[in-house]
Structure 1
């Protein structure tokens, strides 16, 4: 099953590439001794099958281009770029689809400007298929060139008004532009045409939750989890539905499931840690809060909650360090400065002195300010961001 996001751009139109990249590559393909129709074991094996043919014909550009296309599909991106660059060296009049293969590999590596440049070279050779425009639309979206992205996505939709990927990316563009109404329209249109794509269902549910419509988001989440029960972001979306419906206990269970399935999903860790902190389960809150803080230093009150958890559980050295980091992050905050001083009083002098050598000595307050803990604000919902392949 192919998901939207970077994966769909990498794989979209791959059949065209590997079946013969234009007339020039078809001529090269006729020279090869490999019967690709007998290969049944996926792109990595298909690429390996070409090794013998390349050994016999080391200057056949079409063979390198064909192997590069399979390597992109298998996510062997370094090898793909090596092969497609070799093909371009060997063929002074390389067809545009060679550059599309190169652009796909570069985009999969996250080299956005290089991918756009390679795609432009394909266009200069008169190569303008819809999959090239889709790649340019998605890559410009990732580069935050939203108007350019819309232009290329509209070109795709002029050729194929039901292209679910183009509708999906157009929804993300409008979400980034904060045009919620149009974003929802295009995401819904994408889901209608591709109802079993978990990423599209997630982005639609995420945006509905962000606009305080949990009841509208819930059916899309359940549909997505039926397709892929291991899709972590959908479990996070499910947690938000419970949160917005004033069911925090149920929400916490969903966040825990999401964090278990994807340890990089820091929003789930943050909300799980905040739930435990508010319920005074300080020891249990430390792990999710620390994981969330490693991913983002600026989640609301994450540093304060973590420092307080250390203090409440008697881990004064870690609490001192955490409060000291807050002083550096928010200079002039009297409460944080006071906490550094207060927790430091509990540490043995030699230990505190050794910590000061590493973290510096904060200024002592002239008088202790009232220890009023700031009120917590809900996590601000952000526009959905483009999903990338897991590492």
Structure 2
């Protein structure tokens, strides 16, 4: 019986407590605060599976409207058979995230060889609808006397979380022989796209109004009080410009959903015909108009279904035996209309550094590093 807890675990037979898993939440790659973990709703989790001498800890978390997620951390040092993996995964309710040092080698995970434990692990995953997120990158620092790379640190998720997940290995091992893994789950496929800032439409500028606003008494006084402050000057110029010069609308922010990869000209034509037929029926709800709308709706479903089938065939034809798993994941996200944003410097940079220094300090320190 492996008990998964949050620091409130019952003592083991020897009177000691098992190590607990600290939960870190980063919804949509937003801000993480580890100094406020007590406010995150959580429950203990217990699973009925024997993992003798292996360390298993975990927690159940609640994130917005999403069903509770079981987060499991595993450190495995022993031989584990396919049946033992099977029973372990069977005992974990979904949706779930399972990560840790599995000490299992398999070509699919990124190791340069496969041994029995790794093969048994992959076999058990297929039977429990679990997906590994490893993209083939090594997760362990190669030692001088070793000639092969290995990826023993594995991250598994239930299939409903797979396409929402981002996974990558960081470059700095922070003094360890294992490389840190950054893992993030997005909660939406709606993408807000911010284009370039709007440009001034100089041809339509109201220069009389611009001059009037610029020479206003309050603007002059602010400039005189901050004669050496360039930022103040720019702020006033932008404020006056917004009041007297229109922006080119083609550069304003927009919010949209990603397009369908299978959508083609035939789909667009039948969709437009169906739309016009609906307008005609709405304007004149007669039986002939209804029959036309019904026929076009059936035809549209047929065209869409055929387009999806052909798109899937093309997708399968692009996958070869040598295609990297990372490329396959990216293709699947495109098909499922799931956007994978490019990481911005401010999104990961300092945040990752603070997390690593707080959880894995390079040396003793009297001052705790605050993460925000």
TM-score, normalising length from structure 2?
A: 0.23
Q: For CA contacts below 8 A with separation 6 or more, give which structure has more relative contact order.
A: 2
* Structure ID, larger Rg: 2
